[in-house]
Amino acid sequence: MPDAKPFDLVVHGATGFTGRLVAEVLLQRCPPGGALRWALSGRSADKLAAVRDAIGAPRDLPLLVADAADPASLRAMAAQTRLVLSTVGPYQQYGSDLVAACAALGVDYTDLCGEPAWMRQMIDAHEAPARASGARIVFSCGFDSIPFDLGVLELQAQFAERFGHPATRVRGRVRRMKGRFSGGTAASLKATLAAAAADPAVLALLRDPFSLVPGFQGPPQPSGTKPMLDEVLGQWCAPFIMAAINTRNVHRSHFLLGHPWGAGFVYDEMVLTGPGTQGEQLAQALAADRSLAADDGPKPGEGPSREEREAGFYDLLFVAHDDQGNRLNLGVKGRRDPGYGSTSRLITEASLCLLDEARGTPGGVWTPASALGRALRPRLEEHADLHFAVEG
């Protein structure tokens, strides 16, 4: 029963930059004393109290001390709540014991993970325990990968309504974007590259578009690793840094939903840079950019000002085709900086949806689209300024 535990939701990592933003959003959405019972968690009681005071939360908002270096403290924290929302990354360094605790205790879990090799390790280790306990483990609930995972799900639903069957091919394209990737994303990328350099098995997972779908191997997928001319759209494209995680989550969603789009489904993501010579030059420049992995890149705990976060946005295009020549476009547009302002709202709504609308989803390791489905869309449009629209 929900009242058997003192909390419905705990924001773990609330003293970090993104964790604090999530706490601010949750304070606005669900003021303490209301129906949702929530708390903040982190490794320092003093820093948690400082965050509580800085965001204007009441002084009686519960604070829980839990540290990745102390698995018993993570288990004790998880045992007190129905859901843990974790912003503590890189998850391959700090997240494994928390996922294990949630899977064992039957506690729901959401995070912002964009680390596919670690996610596969968690699937292998905790799918069966989560199914047995009823824990719903939902990775990648931020900019990676909700706009893409839900974008493909929504486009396929619209395509089937219009043409009577799903699309066999979907292209995901970033049309425009303003904002910075988070320091946590940069740290996760560096940790993943280091892990791949040390372990050939990790490198193999990173190269496999179906690495999050154990036991299934679909058709060859576009690599998206080099600039190319997209002849369908008449524009040049550059590699998209988040494609490595988003494409794998889309394929896992497809798998968990029972392959409704067919075993031959093909999906890729790239950044549109425009037509002609100028578009080609820009695509080449973006492909050569290594700033996210540079030593002087963004650091965990750092982030843009409120004004910069509010000025950010992103505009995505999804293009669906079938073998009969039918085509449908879907635009997905988000307000605010994708890595911070939007992400903090996306994971908040995904977590609330998991608690409220997705109670019928059984235990296991899920993606946002497979766990929450189209029930998440109204929440995103009303509370996260993420909008979906068929464009033709």
Boundary of a domain, candidates 142, 174, 193: 142
Instruction: Looking at the structure, tell me whether residues 193 and 251 fall in a common domain.
Output: yes
Domain shared by 132 and 182, yes or no = no
pLDDT for 2 beyond 60: no
Average pLDDT for 202-208: 81
Give the global pTM: 0.95
On whether both 43 and 86 belong to a single domain, the answer is yes
- Specify burial of residue 353 (Cβ count, 10 A radius: 0-12, 13-18, 19+): buried
Domain membership of residue 367 (yes or no) is: no
Describe the crossing of helices 45-54 and 17-29 by its angle, rounded to 10 degrees.
50
With the C-alpha atoms ordered 294, 348, 384, 247, is the resulting torsion angle positive or negative? positive
Domain span at 65: 2-142
Q: CATH number of the domain at 61, please.
A: 3.40.50.720
Last residue of a domain, one of 97, 113, 142: 142
Residue type, 59: R
**Average pLDDT taken over every residue of the chain:** 94
Cα–Cα separations (whole angstroms), residue 249 to 220, 262, 381: 16, 16, 21
* Maximum alpha-carbon separation in the chain: 63
What is the number of structural domains in the chain? 2
Q: What is the pLDDT of residue 385?
A: 98
Please check whether residues 157 and 123 belong to one and the same domain: no
Q: Domain for residue 264, yes or no?
A: yes
Percent of the chain clearing pLDDT 70 (strictly above): 95
Strand 169-178, strand 313-321: pairing? antiparallel
**Is residue 269, in this structure, part of any structural domain at all?**
yes
91-135 per-position pLDDT tens digit: 999 999 999 999 999 999 999 999 999 999 999 999 999 999 999
In this structure, the answer to whether residues 41 and 120 fall within a common structural domain is: yes
pLDDT tens-digit profile of 331-351?
A: 999 999 999 999 999 999 999
Residues 52 and 169 in one domain: no
Is 371 within the bounds of a domain? Answer: no
Same domain, yes or no: 34 and 105: yes
What stretches of the chain adopt beta strand conformation (E)?
7-12, 38-42, 63-65, 81-86, 108-111, 136-138, 169-178, 228-230, 235-239, 266-274, 313-321, 327-335, 364-366, 386-390
**The pLDDT of residue 153 is above 50:** yes
**Does the residue 357 lie in any domain?**
no
Residue 153 inside a domain? The answer is: yes
Query: Is there a single domain that holds both residue 151 and residue 88?
Result: no
Average pLDDT over residues 71-75: 98
**Which one, of 93, 99, 150, lies nearest residue 127 by Cα?**
99
Cα 335 vs. chain centroid, distance in angstroms? 16
Across the range 270-274, mean pLDDT stands at 98
Paired with 332 in beta bridges are 316, 388
Q: Are residues 260 and 384 in the same domain?
A: yes
Question: Does one domain contain both 40 and 101?
Answer: yes
Closest CA to 372 of 155, 150, 210: 150
Residue 298 scores a pLDDT above 70: no
Q: How many CB atoms lie within 10 A of CB 290?
A: 8
> Average pLDDT, stretch 41-60?
98
Tens digits of per-residue pLDDT, 218-248?
Answer: 999 999 999 999 999 999 999 999 999 999 9
Same domain, yes or no: 135 and 253? no
* DSSP H/E element including 306: helix 306-311
For 7-30, the three-class secondary structure string (H helix, E strand, C coil) is EEEEEECCCCHHHHHHHHHHHHHC
Q: How far apart are CA 196 and CA 203, in angstroms?
A: 5
Q: Is the predicted pLDDT of residue 294 greater than 70, yes or no?
A: no
Identify the DSSP state of 309.
H
Main-chain phi, psi angles of 170, to 5 degrees = -130, 135
Evaluate the omega torsion of the peptide bond into residue 145 and state whether it is cis, within 30 degrees of 0.
yes
- Average the pLDDT over each of 39-43, 184-188, 241-245 and give the range with the smallest value: 184-188
Determine, yes or no, domain membership for 361.
no
Cβ(109)–Cβ(75) below 8 Å: no
Task: Measure the CA–CA gap between 113 and 137, rounded to whole angstroms.
Answer: 12
Angle, helix 343-356 to helix 146-163, in steps of 10 degrees: 60
Mean pLDDT of 46-52: 98
| Contact of 99 with 137, CB cutoff 8 Å | yes
**Inter-axis angle of helices 146-163 and 376-383, to 10 degrees?**
120
Domain finish residue from 142, 166, 181: 142
Q: Do 105 and 177 fall within a single domain?
A: no
- Using the predicted structure, report yes or no on whether residue 297 has a pLDDT greater than 80: no
Residue 327 lies in a domain: yes
Q: Is the pLDDT of residue 275 over 80?
A: yes
**235-239 and 63-65 beta bridge pairing:** unpaired
